[in-house]
Amino acid sequence: MNGDHRRRIDQAIIDLINDVYKSHLRKMQSEMHLCAANCCDDLYRQPSMDSVQGCIEDCAGPLLRAQDYMQHELGQFQGRLRNCLMQCNDGVRGRIPTNTHQSDISKYANQFELCTGQCVDKYIGLVPKMMKTMKSVLENGPTIVDQM
């Protein structure tokens, strides 16, 4: 995969993460901090240090589950992209004769770049659907994220 392909896929993922952060995770982060502050302020329901710490950990749960979900989905996406790229590599290598001349190598390199470009295009095309799915799961709350 050449530098342009790498930049395009990286930018698509960065844009997805930023969008989901702005639309969902940032609000969850704010709610987590407000909840944790309430744990510290509530001296009557949370009298001990351990109960305050448990309350704070409970506040962090939804955000942590959401982040775990996103990491899982992005890992799956990267794995599928990597498999596509490996198929390109295997496909081109399988066509190279054993006694290939150096002048013919560029032909196979071009075939590999064409194939990897098609993988990148395909997976960039899947990003909007993945973003929509992530937002839908996050909108339905941590109970949905727990099932992932």
What is the spatial distance between Cα 74 and Cα 134, in angstroms, rounded to a whole number?
10
Q: What is the pLDDT of residue 147?
A: 52
Task: Write down the pTM of the prediction.
Answer: 0.81
Cβ neighbours for 33, distance < 8 A, ≥ 6 positions apart: 59
pLDDT, mean of each 10-residue run, the chain (148 residues):
90 96 95 93 78 92 93 95 95 85 84 94 96 92 54
Q: What is the pLDDT of residue 10?
A: 95
Q: What is the pLDDT of residue 12?
A: 96
Phi, psi for 42 (deg, rounded to 5)? -85, 85
Q: Which class for 125: exposed (0-12), middle (13-18), buried (19 or more C-beta within 10 A)?
A: exposed
